Structure 1
Amino acid sequence: MNLILLGGNGVENKMWIEKIETTLKPLFSTTYIQYYMHWQKGGEMVDINLEANKLSSYAKDIREYVIFAKSAGILITAKAVHDNALRPVKCIFTGIPISWAISKGFDISNWFEGFKDTSLVIQHNEDPFASSKNVSEFITKENMINTNLVELPGNTHDYLEYDRIKKIVADFVY
């Protein structure tokens, strides 16, 4: 199985997603990190459309892959799946940023409505961008029928529980 990784919006997520890749690499045949254009150019905001197209273009030649995405990377994935440009075997979403996405005007209700891909959401119970309770309600409201939620204790959007995340991913994927 192949793994495609997408980090959050801020450039500080580059180091985080690289650490996650190192942690998860033994579980997969290949891994690929999508590095965002705005990280390279010093911009502040991810271009969801550009990155969704880039993701779809990369993934089109891969037969079976799992997506691991954090925060803004989740939005990129959801948009590409909604546009029928991406067909992952499974998705692992870490830190769905509901309030941030809405504040930036992203159409997350449309992108996630009826999301059918087999997915797992890892969410801190007090994540400042969406508590695990908010995410649970969102999953139900958007009818994300094949999505399960794992709640971790925490009040940040950082997700530094690398070994715990590795075990959760291994149990979910295999």
Structure 2
Amino acid sequence: MRRGSGRQGHALGERASYAPACQAADQRRPPKRTESLSLTELRERWRTSAIRAFGACTDYRLAERPRAAAAAGSARVRPLADVVLAAVDTVAVVYVMRCAFARHHLLAEARRHLSYALRGRPHQPGLDQRIVQAAVDDRTRPVGRGRRMTADLRALYRAASRTRPCCAR
């Protein structure tokens, strides 16, 4: 039998030789660790390895560059909360989740919207209430006799068509 040939005496094809090659690679590979490390432990190991390889000064300078760049970027870009856009987004999300909703559903979604848009930065007191009020006044209509409401789709589409250009025309 020739070297690299199969049991039948002919050379293995590309597909057939793939499985034995994977098997050989697995046999030569060192065994994996069974314990998992936390992110803190991994970072400490990486930092120790970088200090060993490049020195403490280089490690410190390399870590300082991204911090400075992030601080400069966040100083230039101040997050804004557009009440009208937030109201449209809030009503759209709540409407998708539930057809008829109450004011407290809008309030919860407005707060989620602010936490995402402002990324945890403080905002003006009552901004969430202003978003809900704009949503109730301009983007919803009452349903039934209770305090339930639903999205006013004409108002939502009108607002969306003003903010985004339509390519379908």
Bucket of the pairwise TM-score, normalised by the shorter protein:
under 0.3
Choose 1 or 2 for highest CA Rg: 2
| Structure number with higher helix proportion | 2
TM (norm. structure 2) is: 0.24
| Structure number with higher strand proportion | 1
